[in-house]
Amino acid sequence: MNVFEVIRYPHITEKATALSEAGERQVVVLRVHPKATKFQIKAAVEEVFKARVESVRTAHFRGKRKRQGRFEGYRSDWKKAYVTLQPGQKIEFFEGV
């Protein structure tokens, strides 16, 4: 799997922002490919962002049931990764904003 297929995009929420700002170690929350492993996620972050990774935690989410009128379907399942960077490392998505 290509490193750009592993990392989809940053998951920006209030909780994710609070995690990235709190403490001496920065935690970055990313939406990743559902079949990506922790080792692939770590390698992709280190290659794309040039930052040293300390640990990776993942969480799977099932797609919600949604309706459009009388038709019913499901959203896609997705995976979220909490990437903890080593002390002194930083990833900024919105620099100078």
**Domains with residue ranges and CATH for the chain:** 3-85 (3.30.70.330)
* Nearby residues of 62 by Cβ (< 8 Å), 6 or more positions away: 77
Which amino acid is present at 25?
A: R
The pLDDT value recorded for residue 91 is: 87
15 pLDDT exceeds 70?
yes
The pLDDT value recorded for residue 97 is: 58
The pLDDT value recorded for residue 85 is: 94
82 pLDDT exceeds 70?
yes
64-78 mean pLDDT? 95
Average pLDDT of the chain is 92
pTM: 0.88
Q: Which residue has the tokens 């904003």?
A: 97
79 pLDDT exceeds 70?
yes
The pLDDT value recorded for residue 83 is: 96
